[in-house]
C-alpha cells in the first residue's frame, strides 16, 4: 500500500510517501519569511504553501521512487492549524484523490504527533523498539501541551492539557523577553547547554490534576529580568547561559512532574514524548533519566519526526487505511478540532 501524505497546518510544507507503514520519503520546506515578524503570519504562510506544495510533493515522490499511478491513497492534515494553511494542503490532496481515483484520508495533526512514536526506525540495521499499548504521550508543541493516553493507534484520549500557553510558547516567549529571535525555543536549548540550571529558581505553578499552566512563568521571567537589568544593564548578556538553563530546567520539570503523576494514576509504563519541544535536548535527557529512576520504558521520535512533518501524517493514514477510515471529498479542514 502506497500513501502520499501532505502536512500544511502551520509554517512547514511537507510531503511524505510510505509503503506499508515504512517511510520512503519525508520532504519538509520551512518558511523563513516569518522570521522578520517574530511569529508566523497566517496570510504569508498560505502563500508560501502555495509556492512550495508542488515542488515538495514532487521531491517526496522522486525520493520514494514512486509514480502517481502507484498511489493507493492520499492523506492530508485536516485540523487543527491555520485555516488558510490547511486549505492549501486539503485542496491539493482532494484534487489528487479525485484525479487518481484513490481514497482520501483526513488526519488529525495532534494524533499524528503522538503516532510519530510508531514510525519504524532502525540503528545499524536493527529495528528500534517502539512503545506498546497502552502508552502515555506528552505532546509538546508550538500550540499544544497535552498528556495523551493512547490505547490503540486510532483510540486516544487527552487526560491533561495546558490552560493557557503551550510549552513551545513558553520557550518562544521567554526567548523573546531575552531579546532572542523567533523561534527562540531551539536557541534557549543551545545556550542552556553551557549554563547552570540551578542558578536561578523560577516558580512551579500549582495546578490541580494533570493540567498545565505556563503564563505565570512568563510573567515571573519578565519581572526577574526587569529587576536585574535595572541593577545591571548587562545582566542578560553576562548570564545568558545560566538564565536559559534555569528557564529550560523549570519548563522541563513542570512537564515531567505532570507526566509522572499521569504514569502513577494510570499505571502505564510505556511513556513517549512528541511535538516540536520534544526536540529539546534537556527534555530528552531528563525523560531518559526519570525513566531509569521510575522504571518507565521511554520513547522519543527521531529528531526529524518531532517538529511538523508529513511522515507522521503518513503513518497515521496507514492505520486509518487499514481500518477503512476514509473521508468524503467534501471534507473540510478546521482550525480547531475535538478528539
Ligand atoms: P501544533 O503542533 O501545536 O499545531 P506547531 O506545529 O507549530 O504547533 P511544532 O512544529 O510541533 O509546533 O513545534 C514548534 C515549537 O517547538 C516551537 O515553539 C519551537 O520553539 C519549539 N522547539 C523546537 N525545537 C526546540 C528545542 N530544541 N527546544 C525547545 N523548543 C523547541
Ligand atoms: Mg513550525
Ligand atoms: Fe505540530
| Mean pLDDT per 10-residue segment, the chain (339 residues) | 98 97 97 87 96 98 98 98 98 98 98 98 96 98 96 97 97 96 95 98 95 96 96 97 98 98 98 96 98 98 95 98 98 90
Atom number, ligand 1, closest to the C-alpha of residue 306: 11
SS3 of 50, please?
Answer: helix
Beta bridge partner(s), residue 25: 17
**What pLDDT does residue 196 have?**
98
* Ligand 1 contacts CB of residue 307 (under 6 A): yes
Whose Cα sits closest to atom 5 in ligand 1? 142
Residues 6+ apart with CB under 8 A from 235: 225, 228, 229
- Least Cα distance to 152 among 136, 133, 130 occurs for 133
Residue (of 48, 50, 105, 45) closest to 72 by Cα position: 105
Residues comprising the binding site? 109, 113, 139-143, 172, 185, 189, 280, 308
ipTM computed for the complex:
0.97
In this predicted structure, what is the pLDDT of residue 338?
78
- The residues, ordered by sequence, that sit 6+ positions from 124 with a Cβ below 8 Å of its Cβ are none
Torsion of CA 126, 56, 335, 213, to 10 degrees: 50
Query: What pLDDT is recorded for position 337?
Result: 87
Span 29-88, pLDDT tens digits: 999 888 888 889 999 999 999 999 999 999 999 999 999 999 999 999 999 999 999 999
Q: Which of 191, 304, 307 to mutate to test the pocket of ligand 1 (most atoms within 8 A of CB)?
A: 307
| Nearest-CA residue for atom 3 of ligand 1 | 143
> What pLDDT, on the 0 to 100 scale, is given for residue 35?
84
Cα(18)–Cα(226) distance, integer angstroms: 51
pTM of the model: 0.95
| Grid coordinates belonging to 35 | 522570521
Q: Identify the pLDDT of residue 161.
A: 97
Summarised one tens digit per residue, pLDDT across range 82-110 is 999 999 999 999 999 999 999 999 999 99
Euclidean distance between CA atoms 274 and 76, whole angstroms: 19
Can the peptide bond before residue 176 be classed as cis, meaning omega within 30 degrees of 0? no
Residue 39's pLDDT is 86
Per-residue pLDDT, 70: 98
Amino acid at each position: 500500500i502506497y500513501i502520499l501524505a501532505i502536512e500544511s497546518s502551520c509554517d512547514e510544507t511537507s510531503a511524505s510517501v510510505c509503503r506499508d507503514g515504512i517511510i520512503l520519503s519525508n520532504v519538509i520546506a520551512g518558511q523563513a519569511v516569518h522570521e522578520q515578524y517574530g511569529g508566523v503570519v497566517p496570510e504569508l504562510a498560505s502563500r508560501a504553501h502555495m509556492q512550495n506544495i508542488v515542488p515538495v510533493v514532487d521531491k517526496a515522490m522522486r525520493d520514494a521512487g514512486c509514480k502517481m499511478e502507484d498511489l493507493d491513497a492520499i492523506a492530508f492534515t485536516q485540523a487543527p492549524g491555520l485555516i488558510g494553511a490547511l486549505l492549501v494542503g486539503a485542496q491539493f490532496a482532494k484534487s489528487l484523490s479525485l484525479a487518481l481515483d484513490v481514497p482520501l484520508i483526513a488526519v488529525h495533526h495532534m494524533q499524528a504527533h503522538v503516532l510519530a512514536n510508531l514510525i519504524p526506525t532502525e540503528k545499524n540495521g536493527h529495528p528500534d523498539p517502539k512503545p506498546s499499548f497502552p502508552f502515555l504521550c506528552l505532546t509538546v508543541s508550538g500550540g499544544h501541551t497535552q498528556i495523551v493516553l493512547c490505547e490503540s493507534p486510532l483510540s486516544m484520549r487527552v487526560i491533561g492539557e495546558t490552560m493557557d500557553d503551550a510549552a513551545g510558547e513558553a520557550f518562544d516567549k521567554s526567548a523573546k523577553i531575552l531579546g532572542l529571535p523567533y523561534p527562540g525555543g531551539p536557541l534557549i536549548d543551545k545556550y542552556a547547554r553551557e549554563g547552570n540550571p540551578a542558578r536561578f529558581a523560577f516558580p512551579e505553578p500549582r495546578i490541580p490534576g494533570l493540567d498545565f499552566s505556563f503564563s505565570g512563568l512568563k510573567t515571573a521571567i519578565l519581572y526577574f529580568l526587569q529587576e536585574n537589568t535595572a541593577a545591571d544593564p548587562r545582566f542578560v548578556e553576562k548570564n545568558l547561559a545560566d538564565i536559559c538553563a534555569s528557564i529550560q530546567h523549570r519548563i522541563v520539570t513542570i512537564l515531567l512532574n505532570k507526566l509522572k503523576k499521569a504514569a502513577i494514576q494510570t499505571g502505564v509504563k510505556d511513556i513517549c514524548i512528541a511535538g516540536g519541544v520534544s526536540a529539546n535536548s534537556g527534555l530528552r535527557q531528563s525523560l531518559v533519566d526519570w525513566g531509569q529512576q521510575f522504571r518507565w520504558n521511554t520513547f522519543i521520535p527521531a529528531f526529524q519526526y518531532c517538529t511538523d512533518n508529513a511522515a507522521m501524517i503518513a503513518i497515521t493514514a496507514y492505520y486509518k487505511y487499514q481500518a477503512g477510515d476514509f473521508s468524503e471529498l467534501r471534507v473540510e479542514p478546521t482550525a480547531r478540532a475535538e478528539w
